[in-house]
Amino acid sequence: MRLFVSEGAPGSLPVLAAAGRARGRAELLISTVGPEECVVPFLTQPKVPVLQLDSGNYLFSTSSICRYFFLLSGWEQDDLTNQWLEWEATELQPALSAALYYLVVQGKKGEDVLGPVRRALKHIDYSLSRQNCPFLAGETESLADIVLWGALYPLLQDPAYLPEELGSLCSWFQTLSTQEPCQRAAETVLKQQGVLALRPYLQKQPQPSPPNGRAVTNEPEEELATLSEEEITMAVTAWEKGLGGLPPLRPPQNPVLPMAGERNVLITSALPYVNNVPHLGNIIGCVLSADVFARYSRLRQWNTLYLCGTDEYGTATETKAMEEGLTPQEICDKYHAIHADIYRWFNISFDTFGRTTTPQQTKITQDIFRRLLTRGFVLQDTVEQLHCEKCARFLADRFVEGVCPFCGYEEARGDQCDKCGKLINAIELKKPQCKVCRSCPVVKSSQHLFLDLPKLETRLEEWLGKTLPGSDWTPNSRFIIRSWLRDGLKPRCITRDLKWGTPVPLEGFEDKVFYVWFDATIGYLSITANYTDQWERWWKNPEQVDLYQFMAKDNVPFHGLVFPCSALGAEDNYTLVSHLIATEYLNYEDGKFSKSRGVGVFGDMAQDTGIPADIWRFYLLYIRPEGQDSAFSWTDLLLKNNSELLNNLGNFINRAGMFVSKFFGGYVPEMVLTPDDQRLLAHVTLELRHYHQLLEKVRIRDALRSILTISRHGNQYIQVNEPWKWIKGTEADRQRAGTVTGLAVNIAALLSVMLQPYMPSVSATIQAQLQLSPPACSVLLTNFLCTLPAGHQIGTVSPLFQKLENDQIESLRQRFGGGQVRKLKTAVVSLSISHGVTSLVSLSSPDLSLFPSLTLLLLHLQFFFPILARRVLGAKGNHSPGNIYNWRLGSFMATGSNSVVLFQAKVSPKPAVVDTVAATGPQQIQMLMDEVTKQGNIVRELKAQKADKNQIAAEVAKLLDLKKQLSLAEGKPPEAPKCKKKK
Amino acid sequence: MAAAAELTLLEKSLGLNKGNKYSAQGERQIPVLQTNNGPSLTGLTTIAAHLVKQANKEHLLGSTAEEKAIVQQWLEYRVTRVDGHASKDDIRTLLKDLNSYLEDKVYLTGYNFTLADILLYYGLHRFIVDLTVQEKEKYLNVSRWFCHIQHYPGIRQHLSNVVFIKNRLYTNSH
């Protein structure tokens, strides 16, 4: 068969991706034709891509070509896939062609481009989040995903047109974009030029007529109209049951133990390492996420045990102890208390918060080890290990740094490379360095024990085969485990030459301890054992217990692979993880959290900001890195607090309560529901169900949106029905005002319960204000009940949230650092203006932590920019205006990180006038001078106040940085740094 | 013809007696079918394919990979090109293309009658009814195909029978 394509024809994307996906590629002959060539003899209008089949028939519809490839591989399409394809052809394509034409041919930007497609994008996002599947037609990828991805890719590959508020769409899009067939199709069609690669084709096409009419969507506003009669009747029936519809409360248990015939939920959060203060990313990644789920699980009346603790063994503790002149035990005691305090402040509802340095830990770890040993799953071998002569000890993995043997990344750790993610054997590192003294360690040999993972691999796969289907393992955790298994498991060393750890109960190993790889995950068991002597009822009870484990993605191998292997090999009927919930990473502003550089907010500092714990909880959960990395941003925090909490949620709940107090003397009025009110009930019920569906799947961030949606409906309902007007009218009018007020305050009561997992203190405040009865506070059903019946007396109502002011946020941003990318952007913009390259199209957010420092990067930029500018502009201006160039990190630095696009530049239609340089230069210099003066003052003030050493250092660094920028702008060589920066 | 009415016709021609109820969505009145055991289905060709499966007449969706893809291609053609705000010119181009395509074909897939024939017949009916005798002769292959489908058992039902003259009047136009 022969495929006819044309340069820049967008249809080639899905077609090539489908061919790659369905392995139709091999038999495919590809011919490139001009955009106006008529390939299909019977069609008047030219059309590409076209597939000519061996029978002579032509397929001229893009999705039919894709479908054909799938059918050849034996993959049939179901109704849902057909529905998506029909929607793509009738709704998405008209809108998308218009958008692409505006963008590529007419050079429009922003909302002009996004406007026509926004509705369609929302529809996809809404469907993905509603049906709760990672893909359009279910749990697995289908033809629909390929066709829609291919259609959307030219537009959405530009981050400016990927609406980040549409979270489900974004994560779906990114999942597909990283797949190999899609990546290859994208490279072939767009040729690294972005959407402009479509230009040669699109400019030959007639201008598409703008899509008119309303698109087919299942969006909420339309759903109001399509609620069925049954749904409304059911919602009304449930509502009328009132407080009588609540089940009896479970009596509190102590200790909580699994019970036959009930749902028993065991929740763990990854154990934070004791000698570090956790930052916001650590908190949202495991402890806070698990807390929301634990609280939700209790609201569902499931029998719930939530546990966590500090991971205390290891070299890092020993070193810290040396530094601080304490014993390791004293260090652990000190930091354990700090951790416990932070989590208490964040209102984390642990049933027990333990630690790993207990006799139980030794007992259980040694027991598992002995069982593995007698069953032949432990190997013994000599290990070549790095020994630092200067520190006189073997170096643990985390105390070696060097160049990654796989990708050449310079700051690879001894066990894993942060950049390529591959596991490293510390002695394979190139140019190893002891992280403590910076001297080069030597290789020495030592006897060690290994867990024979290859021998356990079949058992593991068998277990995964049973566990994974239908479970709620997050896609990233599945992916990580799959890639490990694909590469094949290798024996893993489980002992270390240390003193601070669980002793190895074997002759000849008296001076060694277990490696955290082996024993940290056993901490969950020992912490439970310290909580109750009946711990085995939780941990040796896989039939009755549902184990949910929360962590950031770097912890997945320990929980999904190593511990299950140990437990399976020990053959003691251990409870294994049923749902492994891994988050992506949270970034800070535009970089990474960094303790050493003093960037980011850490657990203990959150308290000092004056922002209440619940607001922190809300915002962190709102941006939870679910499915993709996300970033903490001060401005966004302010925005979300002021818009979502203050204006939406707080406003609604406060108004509902105020009306009861003001108009009805604090007593909930009689409610006579009209059909409109009944529809609202059904609608709230629907959203409540959606909330449940999402939380059952541990989609924590998405479920929070449901709460906000209900409160938006509530606000609208009050706004439309205006109880404050009716209250002044006749008896009937007053009754209407009563119904509206009563229904609204009941929605507020429901919201207070739904909010409980997210904002426990705010929830309790609302419940106290409304005097909601204890049973109604402690249970959340799938139906919306009238829990505040007519005649119920509420308490005193007062506002729930405070406005955050710009100044306040700005000063916090100053205090905690950030904004590095902004600085870089400013520098790049001014450089490009002075070199005649205009229109920096976009500055992607590069991971600046890859660089030793921003200052150094700016220096390099200053040096290389003229060369790059010449390359872009071409020696004789032979590059056509409007072309976009990606400039990559590798061009600047010898980091080998070629793949990261630093920024894109667009060739200006005419060379920039020299005057602009002169006009911009002094202005920018003046600006920098002002900033230097300002920063100087800040540093002087801090020094005068004898402020914290780290804080001063951070501000000084900023000052130096500014000074360098200034000298660069003035064209002077930068001054040599006066003192070496301490690492 | 409204989409719901068309689907009702299709149900009858497939021998489905139950009679589904359809609602319509949006300005273009896109049909929606609420199925018993799942979420609703939206869109004419999606529902049509669903009904064919319900009636156990999968052969109407094509038997080989090639035929299946061709059926879907013409179903897409039906909803994107035949429906909507097609101008007179658009319709002329469409008939011209289709005429040239059908030159060596009995049905849209070649030799097998499929759902594509049924829905294209329903979709084109309103245009074919208005064609002059001369135009019908101009689009001779379309006429032959159309006439064939309208006489296919159980398809036409209450739709008007379009008359085609067997002997050609405008012989010099070809």
- The better pLDDT of the pair A838, A592 is held by A592
Chain B CB contacts of A44 under 8 Å are 93, 96-97
Which residues 178-217 of A have a C-beta within 8 angstroms of B?
213-217
Instruction: Find the domain containing B31 and state its range.
Output: 3-151
Contact B79 A53 (CB under 8 A): no
CA distance B149 to chain A (A): 21
CA distance B73 to chain A (A): 5
Percent of chain B with pLDDT over 70: 94
pLDDT at B56: 93
Minimum mean pLDDT range among A197-206, A830-839, B93-102:
A830-839
Per the domain annotation, does B49 fall within a domain?
yes
pLDDT at A384: 83
Confidence of residue B37 (pLDDT cuts 50, 70, 90): low
pLDDT at A617: 96
pLDDT at A888: 55
pLDDT at A570: 95
Minimum mean pLDDT range among A290-294, A812-816, B12-16, B67-71:
A812-816
Minimum mean pLDDT range among A81-85, A605-609, B99-103:
A605-609
Per the domain annotation, does B123 fall within a domain?
yes
Residue B33's CATH number: 1.20.1050.10
Percent of chain A with pLDDT over 70: 84
pLDDT at A604: 80
Contact A71 B100 (CB under 8 A): no
Confidence of residue A219 (pLDDT cuts 50, 70, 90): very low
Contact A59 B70 (CB under 8 A): yes
The predicted model gives A138-167 an average pLDDT of 90
pLDDT at A320: 81
For residue A897, pLDDT beyond 70: no
Contact B80 A226 (CB under 8 A): no
**What residue type is A278 in one-letter code?**
P
pLDDT at A333: 92
Work out whether the CA dihedral A499, A503, A504, A510 comes out positive or negative: positive
pLDDT at A855: 62
pLDDT at A730: 92
Chain B CB contacts of A65 under 8 Å are 69
pLDDT at A895: 40
| Number of compact structural domains in chain B | 1
CA distance A85 to chain B (A): 9
Confidence of residue A976 (pLDDT cuts 50, 70, 90): very low
Q: Which among B45, B96, B101 has the least Cβ separation from residue A86?
A: B45
Q: Select the residue from A79, A84, A218 to test the B interface by mutation, using most B Cβ atoms within 10 A.
A: A79
Per the domain annotation, does B56 fall within a domain?
yes
Q: What are A399-409's pLDDT values in tens digits? A: 788 888 888 88
pLDDT at A538: 97
Chain A CB contacts of B103 under 8 Å are 42
Per the domain annotation, does B173 fall within a domain?
no
Q: Which among B39, B65, B98 has the least Cβ separation from residue A68?
A: B65
For residue A632, pLDDT beyond 50: yes
Q: Does the model's pTM come out above 0.90?
A: no
CA distance B145 to chain A (A): 16
For residue A982, pLDDT beyond 70: no
Per the domain annotation, does B165 fall within a domain?
no
**What residue type is A157 in one-letter code?**
Q
Residues pairing with A309 in the sheet: A354
Percent of chain A with pLDDT over 90: 46
Determine which helix (DSSP H) or strand (DSSP E) holds A885, and give its type and residue range.
strand A884-888
pLDDT at A650: 95
Q: Select the residue from A38, A61, A63 to test the B interface by mutation, using most B Cβ atoms within 10 A.
A: A61
Q: Is-contact A317 A501, C-beta < 8 A?
A: no
Per the domain annotation, does B24 fall within a domain?
yes
Q: What are A903-923's pLDDT values in tens digits? A: 555 555 444 333 333 334 556
The predicted model gives A90-94 an average pLDDT of 92
**DSSP for A440-467?**
PPEEEEEEEEEE-HHHHHHHHHHHHHHH
Minimum mean pLDDT range among A538-552, A773-787, B31-45, B91-105:
B31-45
Please report the number of interchain residue pairs, chain A to chain B, with beta-carbon separation below 8 angstroms: 97
Q: Which chain A residue has the Cα nearest residue B53?
A: A79
Beta strands, E only, A83-125? none
Q: Which among A44, A67, A83 has the least Cβ separation from residue B41?
A: A83
Taking CA A647 as the corner, what is the angle to CA A644 and CA A648, rounded to the nearest 5 degrees?
55
pLDDT at A857: 65
Per the domain annotation, does B172 fall within a domain?
no
Closest C-alpha to A694, from A758, A746, A739: A758
DSSP A161: G
Query: Is B173 an interface residue toward A (CB < 8 Å)?
Result: no
- A719 contact partners, CB below 8 Å, separation of at least 6: none
Confidence of residue A461 (pLDDT cuts 50, 70, 90): very high
Closest C-alpha to A376, from A485, A298, A456: A456
For residue A220, pLDDT beyond 60: no
pLDDT at A166: 85
Query: Is A224 an interface residue toward B (CB < 8 Å)?
Result: no
For residue A870, pLDDT beyond 80: no
Per the domain annotation, does B75 fall within a domain?
yes
A865 vs A850: CA distance, rounded Å: 20
Rg over CA atoms, chain B: 16
For residue B65, pLDDT beyond 90: yes
Minimum mean pLDDT range among A153-167, A576-590, A615-629, A948-962:
A948-962
Q: Which chain A residue has the Cα nearest residue B28?
A: A213
Contact A226 B42 (CB under 8 A): no
Confidence of residue A648 (pLDDT cuts 50, 70, 90): very high
Average confidence score pLDDT of chain B: 88
For residue A279, pLDDT beyond 50: yes
- The torsion angle over the Cα atoms of residues B36, B39, B43 and B47, rounded to 10 degrees, is -30
Minimum mean pLDDT range among A65-79, A342-356, A932-946, B36-50:
A932-946
pLDDT at A374: 96
Average confidence score pLDDT of chain A: 84
The predicted model gives A176-192 an average pLDDT of 88
For residue A221, pLDDT beyond 50: no
Q: Measure Cα distances from A154 to A104, A197, A647, A883, B143 in Å.
A: 10, 9, 37, 16, 41
Confidence of residue A430 (pLDDT cuts 50, 70, 90): confident
For residue A215, pLDDT beyond 80: no
The predicted model gives A67-93 an average pLDDT of 92
Chain B CB contacts of A97 under 8 Å are none
Q: Which among A79, A83, A213 has the least Cβ separation from residue B27?
A: A213
Which ipTM value was assigned to this complex? 0.96
pLDDT at A916: 31
Query: Is A132 an interface residue toward B (CB < 8 Å)?
Result: no
Chain B CB contacts of A23 under 8 Å are none
Q: Can the peptide bond before residue A255 be classed as cis, meaning omega within 30 degrees of 0?
A: yes
Q: What are A520-551's pLDDT values in tens digits? A: 999 999 999 999 999 999 999 999 999 999 99
pLDDT at A218: 34
The predicted model gives A261-275 an average pLDDT of 92
pLDDT at A217: 35
